[in-house]
Amino acid sequence: MLNRGYAYATIISSKYHGQTLLSHLASLYPHSTPQAWQEKLNNGEVTLDGVTGAGSESITLGQTLVWNRPPWTEPDAPRHFEVLFEDAHLLAVNKPSGLPTLPGGGFMENTLLRLVQEQAPSANPVHRLGRATTGIVLFAKTPQAASSLFANWNTPKIQKIYRALAQNIAEHDAYEIVTPIGLVPHPLIGSVWAASRAGKPSKSLARVISREGTTTTFEVSLHSGRPHQIRIHLASIGHPLVGDPLYGFTGQPLEDLPGLPGDGGYFLHAHYLRFEHPITGEQIHLEAALPSGF
């Protein structure tokens, strides 16, 4: 089934001033070739400040660029989720693997956000999980709840504990991982979050739950909230997640990716979430049952 299409809007910044519209589109959205972008331009899909673009014109600082992507058939995704907690201010659900939290990467309607808003229109996620990651996603249903949770999300006031199935047998029973995380260049996908000396400070605590065969199951608590933090941190100490298509043994991205960065194949689960209710002050303890595979 086709979705409703989407308008991708950006404002031209100074570093792109003077580029042709066609070359800018090809660099901004590298998933399509310049020839494909010229076809989209010829079809009237792109506007600059409301005027249909031809491709040869020069873009200038401050212009509004809009690509009106026509409706498309999205990849399949699970459409079920379990409600773990709900009241007038909050909603917590157990997200299945394969369902994106937010629109992006070809997904607009087949997302947890859209499905949750069908039953709770005011709900918006306080955080996100990767498409393949399972477990607890917390939504705020009121501005007051959202404001409090956003302010405290990466502080000790909110305890987030994950399960991760990793490669190799861990030598120690516990690890404090402080590998900085930042954007690094990648020859195939432009840039990606990874271990980086120039990155932002990050901290995870990993405790061994079990060792079996050539794998280790870790319980990981987060003390910062960087993108792909657990995948990067465990990989940086020699324990990339089993089946991870993106990260190798140093926390750096693989040069020859076996698939797209958003692809699944790994086991990472947001298992526990503990926090003080932002409105009532009640202590909330949430648990999402482990999926098969752990």
Residue 262 has what pLDDT?
A: 60
pLDDT at position 99 over 60: yes
Give the model's confidence band at 30: pLDDT under 50 very low, under 70 low, under 90 confident, else very high. Answer: confident
- The per-residue pLDDT for range 277-287, each reduced to its tens digit, is 999 999 999 99
Determine the average pLDDT of the residues in 233-245: 95
Distance CA 49, CA 52 (A): 9
228-232, 249-253, 270-274, range with the lowest pLDDT: 249-253
Place of tokens 């087949």: 110
- The per-residue pLDDT for range 159-204, each reduced to its tens digit, is 999 999 999 999 999 999 999 999 998 877 778 899 999 999 999 9
Give the model's confidence band at 269: pLDDT under 50 very low, under 70 low, under 90 confident, else very high. Answer: very high
pLDDT at position 276 over 90: yes
Q: Catalogue all structural domains in the chain, each as residue range(s) with its CATH number.
A: 6-69 (3.10.290.10), 76-153 (3.30.2350.10), 154-263 (3.30.2350.10)
User: 10 Cβ partners below 8 Å, 6+ apart?
Assistant: 28, 64, 65
Task: Enter the DSSP assignment of 102.
Answer: S
Residue 261 has what pLDDT?
A: 56
SS3 content of the chain, % helix, strand, coil (to 5): 15, 35, 50
Are the C-beta atoms of residues 202 and 180 closer than 8 Å to each other? Answer: yes
User: 131 Cβ partners below 8 Å, 6+ apart?
Assistant: 97, 98, 99, 100, 101, 105, 107, 262, 264
Residue 258 has what pLDDT?
A: 59
Residue 74 has what pLDDT?
A: 92
Instruction: Give φ, ψ of 57 to 5 degrees.
Output: -70, 150
- The per-residue pLDDT for range 41-50, each reduced to its tens digit, is 999 999 999 9
Tokens describing residue 99: 């369902």
Strand order in the sheet with 6-11: 6-11, 64-69, 46-48, 51-52
Closest CA relative to residue 239, chosen from 251, 228, 227, 229: 251
Longest dimension (CA), the chain: 62
Residue 102 has what pLDDT?
A: 93
pLDDT at position 70 over 90: yes
34-42 vs 21-28: helix crossing angle, rounded to 10: 120
Question: pTM for the whole thing?
Answer: 0.85
